Structure 1
Amino acid sequence: MTINCKGKLIDLSSPKVMGILNITPDSFYDGGFYKDQTKIFNQVEKMLTEGATFIDIGAYSSRPNADHVSEDEELKRILPIVNSILVEFPEILLSIDTFRSNVAKACIESGATMINDISAGRLDDKMLQTIANLHVPYIMMHMRGNPKTMQKLTDYDDLVKDILFYFSERIGAAKALGIIDIIVDPGFGFAKTLEQNFELLNNLELFKIIEKPLLVGVSRKSMIYKTLETSAKDALNGTSVLNTVALQKGANILRVHDVKEAVECVKLVESLSS
């Protein structure tokens, strides 16, 4: 199970870790922290040293009820960061967290590697064609509505079956345009209640039927800290527990704030099965 990143084949049969770099002022955990170049470079270097295969950069917060950000503002936030990181770390594999085709195109043309789209092309009808033209890996996530409305859209006939049907339709649309490297993200916390998030994790192995690499992002999310009656800041241990469960159920990529601990989860789970 491989994806082509800038001509380099990345084998996802051995799980990989994607480090999160939020450059938004309002992200739920690290919003506003990485404002200057020195802090950004230090954090990227730390994550790479700790074992991250990919770094995922986002300039539009997708937390519930996040403020709208214009396309111009998103580009203004993200492009200088992408360019400066690629100068400092030329071999880095950058993932761009955006649902806008123009942002995706600009970042890939600047040297980014893949696109991580929370809407699977449903918030920008030009996204799938843009990805096809760019010939880059595409992460498609399950979500209903948008970050402002998604938490009101949690009524499912059958949660897992509905999400699998969603991916069947989205993958079909992507394949019809010639998109080859597709990764699916079930979207923990997006248009799902606390109970639904755990139902989804409990049935994660069913996503093997899609026959695409599976990305899981539960890092410090409310399904952890609300269950434990704590905060995102104190949710690292809970994150490691759920990352371990996700790996045992077939996750190929862990998207995390804390790379060292996620890499340790991968090593320990792989040791169990070796």
Structure 2
Amino acid sequence: MTRPYYRPLVQTDAVRPEGALPLAGGWCWFTEVEVLGRGGESEILPATHLPPEVAERLCAPRRPVAGLSMDAPRIMGILNVTPDSFSDGGRYDDEEIALDHARALAEAGADILDIGGESTRPGAREVPEDEEIDRTAPVIAALRDEDFPLPISIDTRKALVADAAVEAGAEMLNDVSAMEFDPAMAELAAITGLPICLMHAQGLPETMQDDPEYGDVLLDVYDYLEERIALAEAQGIAREQIVVDPGIGFGKTVAHNLALIRGLGLFHGLGCPILLGVSRKRFIGTVAGGETAEARMPGTLAVTLAGIAQGAQIHRVHDVAEIAQGVRLWNAITKGYEQ
């Protein structure tokens, strides 16, 4: 076999067989792994046959992210202060309306807020740095001035925008380019010590959906994130402050997206928390119906629960109240419920 990749066959039942290994210190476990290779090779092995270093990466508890423990699913509420985001563009680009929506997301059950000032939807154009700062930093500062209860993440590809957000009170960096668009992002993450999410995307938003191609999408995305983690570590960013995101919908066809979600457990082998961003995305409507983004909430919940069943820790969503309700029911079913 070519280089082996180890995908845990993830379980969530409350009853664990003797010898089951914990997955990332969280709510899932596994007793077997699928060993994958390029060219379609695949075999199932007992988890006890894992190389020790692989077992350590898969099993070790993840460190908290922005003060949030990673031993339970976490909901990241989306606040786009943009005029052109694919789902809610222009709805919250007024500061007072944005602040009201941030408060509503916190009350609805979000664990962390992700604020973005540049749309990265397919076909979106780049926003100048000063304009992106003017959209995001004042909202973050205003939330911090009123003692907003949640940690705040800044969703940006640009180091200057991220730096202004950190100055205003942001506690996490979320870079959809995995520090490729602006290499200075690595220095900022290293200096601040803040957690940073590195996401896979094939191409820029302007062209990424033109004709995405992969040899093996699951393994290609894994290799890319592994390379970006290595680069981050070389720049002084500790692996424990890195979150990874396979980038659903960013330079992927429907088949690519489904393959990544189906094989999501593989990414635990990177030794980092996993962020899954599927909210209202077009592939949900293509597969299950939902012409408008707002009509894709049920599909978003279904895919989110599929990700939780594979141990993904952070879920970036628009419909916080609905997703939080679904997660609470999932927890009650899988972990028990006391009235």
TM-score range, shorter chain: over 0.9
Instruction: Determine the structure 2 residue equivalent to 1:33.
Output: 91
1:82 aligns with 140
Deviation at 1:82, TM superposition (A): 1.5
CA RMSD of aligned residues (A): 1.4
Who is 1:200 aligned against?
260
TM-score (norm 1): 0.95
Identity among equivalent positions (%) equals: 39
1:41, CA displacement in angstroms? Answer: 2.1
The counterpart of 1:146, out of the listed 204, 209, 212, is 204
The aligned residue for residue 93 of structure 1 is 151
Distance 1:153 1:120, change over 3 A: farther
Shift of 1:121: 0.4
Q: 2:242 aligns with which of 171, 175, 182?
A: 182
What's the TM-score, normalizing by structure 2? 0.77
Instruction: Give the aligned partner of residue 298 of structure 2.
Output: 237
Alignment correspondent of 1:165: 223
Quote the offset at 1:71 in angstroms: 1.1
Partner SS, residue 79 of structure 2 = strand
* Pairwise CA distance, 1:227: 1.9
CA contact (8 A) 2:93 2:135 kept: no
Offset of residue 203 of structure 1: 0.8
> Unpaired runs of 5+ in structure 1?
none
Distance in 2 of aligned mates of 1:4 and 1:225: 31
Aligned residue runs from structure 1 range 1-274, under 5 A = 1-5=62-66, 9-152=67-210, 154-180=212-238, 181-230=241-290, 231-274=292-335
What is the distance in 2 between the residues matched to 1:219 and 1:110?
Answer: 27
Query: Following the alignment from structure 2 to structure 1, what is the Cα–Cα distance between the partners of residues 122 and 273?
Result: 26
For residue 208 of structure 1, report the CA deviation from its aligned partner.
1.4
Q: Distance in 2 between matches of 1:92 and 1:212?
A: 22
Quote the Cα distance in structure 1 between the aligned partners of 2:286 and 2:183: 35
Letter in 2 for 1:82: I
**220-229 or 12-21, which moves further after superposition?**
220-229
Rounded Cα–Cα distance in structure 2 between residues aligned with 1:211 and 1:194: 27
Q: 2-side partners of 1:264 and 1:151: how far apart?
A: 32
Contact 2:75-2:110 at 8 Å conserved across structures: yes
Moved runs in structure 1, 4+ residues, more than 4 A? none
Counterpart secondary structure, 1:33: coil
Deviation of the 1:226 alpha carbon: 2.0
Deviation at residue 178 of structure 1 after TM alignment: 2.5
The alpha-carbon deviation at position 4 of structure 1 amounts to: 5.0
Give the partner amino acid of 1:75. Answer: I
Contact 1:99 1:123 in 2 (8 A): yes
Q: Could you tell me how far apart the structure 2 residues matched to 1:155 and 1:67 are?
A: 22
2:48 aligns with none
SS in structure 2 of the partner of residue 183 of structure 1: strand
Contact 1:17 1:52 (8 Å CA) reproduced: yes
Q: How far apart are the structure 2 equivalents of 1:41 and 1:34?
A: 9
Unaligned 5+ residue runs, structure 2? 1-61
